[in-house]
Amino acid sequence: MVLLLASHGDWQEKASREVIEIFGNQYPNSEGLSKLKIMTMIINESLRLYGPAVGLLRKGGSEVRLGNLVLPADIDILIANVALHHDPQQWGDDVHLFKPERFAEGVAKATNYNTAAFCPFGLGPRTCVGTTFALMEAKIAVSMILQRYTISLSPAYVHAPVSIITVKPQHGIQVILESLHHDA
Ligand code: HEM
């Protein structure tokens, strides 16, 4: 998310404006966090493009017929949510672009009411138990950064996302923080 904010100044400005409108220079509070609309759109689009989990693991118990497909009993299944999140049929030809406006009217509208199309935290009874905590933590941390700094990408940054258990930047993300408060 920091990478995408650093490389999309227009969205960073929108997010900063929203954070400062809602919290001013006060610590983020729960009432304000639920009002962060732009931030939520940016988080969803970041999770779509670079969600930490690239796949969901399931074990087939008994034989299942799925359309023309017959899944035998006792198989391991990897559901590549990274592929679903980058499917042009679902998201359009601009699928690889960072466009938080996709989520302007919520996840249901963005996915055309196809729940499986966007599942960065998994699906069903084994979905991530940390979802609310992770989203809250991201909103608080990014709000506190945007209350104090503008973020730009360092020329040293090399784009090399890798999946080692989770998706991460192979060489880190080097950014430049500039204080919004000149006396700070
Ligand atoms: C952006 C952050 C996170 C992402 C993208 C994420 C993603 C996921 C995914 C994809 C699964 C598998 C779900 C499935 O198979 O349907 C999962 C499971 C799980 N996650 Fe997260 N997670 C995040 C943060 C957290 C945090 C902060 C915690 C703990 C505080 C957490 C705890 C768990 C646990 C315990 C499971 C296993 C649930 C089960 O099998 O019943 N996760 N997570």
Q: What interface predicted TM-score (ipTM) does this complex get?
A: 0.96
Residue 173 forms part of a structural domain:
yes
**Residue identifier of the C-alpha nearest atom 2 of ligand 1:** 134
Phi, psi of 154 (to 5 degrees): -75, 145
Task: Give the CATH number, domain containing residue 125.
Answer: 1.10.630.10
The number of folded domains in the chain is 1
Answer whether residue 184 shows pLDDT above 60. no
**Residue identifier of the C-alpha nearest atom 7 of ligand 1:** 121
Ligand 1 centroid – CA 178 distance (Å): 33
Q: Is the CB of 122 under 6 A from ligand 1?
A: yes
Q: Is the CB of 121 under 6 A from ligand 1?
A: yes
> What does the pLDDT read at residue 182?
73
Q: Is the CB of 28 under 6 A from ligand 1?
A: no
Mean confidence (pLDDT) of the chain: 96
Residue 184 forms part of a structural domain:
no
Whole-prediction pTM value?
Answer: 0.95
> What is the C-alpha to C-alpha distance for residues 145 and 29, in angstroms, rounded to an integer?
15
The range of the structural domain enclosing residue 116 comes to 2-179
Tokens of 163: 């999946």
* Residue 149 buriedness (CB in 10 A; 0-12 / 13-18 / 19+): middle
Please compute the mean of the pLDDT values over residues 49-64 and round it to a whole number. Answer: 94
Q: What residues pair up with 56 in beta bridges, in sequence order?
A: 79
